[in-house]
Structure 1
Amino acid sequence: MGTARTRSRVPSRYSDPVSDAVRRDTIAARRAAAATEERARRRQLIVEAAARVIEEYGTDTGLNVVADRAGLPRPHVYRHFTGKEDLDQAVARHAARLLSAWIRPSLSAPGTPPEVVYAIIGRVLSWAVAHPNLYRFRARLGTAQAVPELADAAVVNLRAAGYDAQLPAYVVAGVVGMVDAGIIWWFDHRDETGLDQLNDWLAAQVWRVVAEALGQPPAATPAP
């Protein structure tokens, strides 16, 4: 009888180099994705801490306070931002997103264009009153963030009202700037006019600009 041959077993780590390479790449990709997510999480943590500090202490608060509020050493802050300007822009974008989320229900609300304008201004004013320091900060650095969404919403609302026209981005930017300027002025002169009067005036001015851009007389005046 012949002796059965015992087939030698090749160690599995040498059995499939392609699979091993894929496995290593997968592990490396997962680690890289986890590191990216962690950096994004820490960056957002710093941005939210900076926004809270601005709300509480004003727009000129030092970085030490932001780092303390985020629970990080100050040098760690600049691991996630190229400098103060980068951090400021990120905070302004964050504030713009918060304001945008707050006014979004008014963008699609039923009503004539003048009525929608009045409602939007009212929402902006209520957010500004609740967050005056953050509003100032956003107005100084983040005006452009609101323009695309407002322009798109204006097209939808105007078409629903029978206007076959599109507001140029520069008109929307001008309107946003006018509203910001009016609200910031009011912050410093609250004793000179009431909030309702400011809402009336801003809504009327915005509608005049919009109506002129559409080539329409501002026949309808925004009303509460």
Structure 2
Amino acid sequence: MSSAAVRKDTVAARRAGGVNHRERIVAAAVQAIEEHGSDPGLAVIADLAGLPRPHVYRHFTGKDELDQAVARQAAKMLGAWIRPSLTVRGTPPEVIDGLVARVLQWAAFHPNLYRFRVRLSPGEAVPQLTRALAAYVRTPPSEHVVAGVIGLVDASVLWWFDHRDEIDQDALSASLSAQVWLLLAAALTTLDPHAPLTPSYPEA
């Protein structure tokens, strides 16, 4: 093998190793947030990743880049959890009920990670949810409407984390679903609340 080929293979291996280390660090940061709160120390993350502390920022430009990567991972995890509720047939209120219930379930399982996601990437889900709604209706609501819906849900969930003794999860889900439906119904005036919607892709 030529020296050029060896150098090429070495560079490729280093890049692959760098990607693997980044993934390990992000996974460790997610675990640290779950176990220690939304602002874990670098030492905790490094220990969970099995790396020396100085090595963590060799793979990120700094704390901000790491935080953004973790927030994207949290958004991806939440998106995967709620996806089944966006592939079912039902009336608009039924679809909304299922979606809100799934969001609250995930938030209840991952309160620290939910707080972190809201703080770092509040707009991350807007285009994703807009595309999901487009599977149900020919003309989905504008992104500013979707952003309002997400903001309503996120703010309500954050409030609920600190006031669980005032309203239980099922009651909050029902209340939030009704509010989300009112917002979407105002934007989608031709939507019949009694007519079942079928997504344009198969059920999960």
Out of 131, 137, 156, the residue aligned to residue 182 of structure 1 is 156
Cα gap change, 1:169/1:30 in structure 2, threshold over 3 Å: closer, same or farther? farther
Gaps of 5+ in 1: 1-19, 159-163
Kept in 2, the 8 Å contact 1:51–1:91? The answer is yes
What is the percentage of aligned positions where both structures have the same residue? Answer: 53
Q: Deviations over 1:169-209 (max 9, x none)?
A: 12112211110110110000001111111001111111111
Structure-1 separation of matches of 2:50 and 2:191? 56
Shift of 1:24: 4.7
Structure-1 separation of matches of 2:26 and 2:181? 35
Give the secondary structure class of the aligned counterpart of 1:152. helix
Structure-1 separation of matches of 2:68 and 2:104? 22
Which position in structure 2 is the counterpart of 1:95? Answer: 74
Which position in structure 2 is the counterpart of 1:207? Answer: 181
Shift of 1:166: 2.0
Kept in 1, the 8 Å contact 2:25–2:56? The answer is yes
Which position in structure 2 is the counterpart of 1:161? Answer: none
Structure-1 separation of matches of 2:13 and 2:191? 56
Which position in structure 2 is the counterpart of 1:126? Answer: 105
Which position in structure 1 is the counterpart of 2:198? Answer: none
Q: Deviations over 1:8-28 (max 9, x none)?
A: xxxxxxxxxxxx8xx554443
Which position in structure 1 is the counterpart of 2:87? Answer: 108
Query: TM-score, normalised to structure 2's length?
Result: 0.89
Structure-2 separation of matches of 1:202 and 1:90? 29
Q: Deviations over 1:118-161 (max 9, x none)?
A: 10110111111111111111111122221222111101112xxx
Give the secondary structure class of the aligned counterpart of 2:135. helix
Which position in structure 2 is the counterpart of 1:83? Answer: 62
RMSD (Å), alpha carbons: 1.7
Which position in structure 2 is the counterpart of 1:68? Answer: 47
Cα gap change, 1:26/1:212 in structure 2, threshold over 3 Å: closer, same or farther? farther
Structure-2 separation of matches of 1:108 and 1:91? 26
Structure-2 separation of matches of 1:199 and 1:184? 13
Give the secondary structure class of the aligned counterpart of 1:203. helix
Looking at both structures, which has the greater relative contact order when contacts are Cα pairs under 8 Å and sequence separation is at least 6?
2
Give the secondary structure class of the aligned counterpart of 2:103. helix
Shift of 1:60: 2.0
Give the secondary structure class of the aligned counterpart of 1:145. coil
Q: Deviations over 1:9-65 (max 9, x none)?
A: xxxxxxxxxxx8xx5544433322221111011011001101101100101221111
After the TM superposition, which residues 191-206 of structure 1 pair with which residues of structure 2 at under 5 Å, given as runs? Answer: 191-206=165-180
**Number of aligned positions between the proteins:** 194
- Radius of gyration: which is bigger? 1
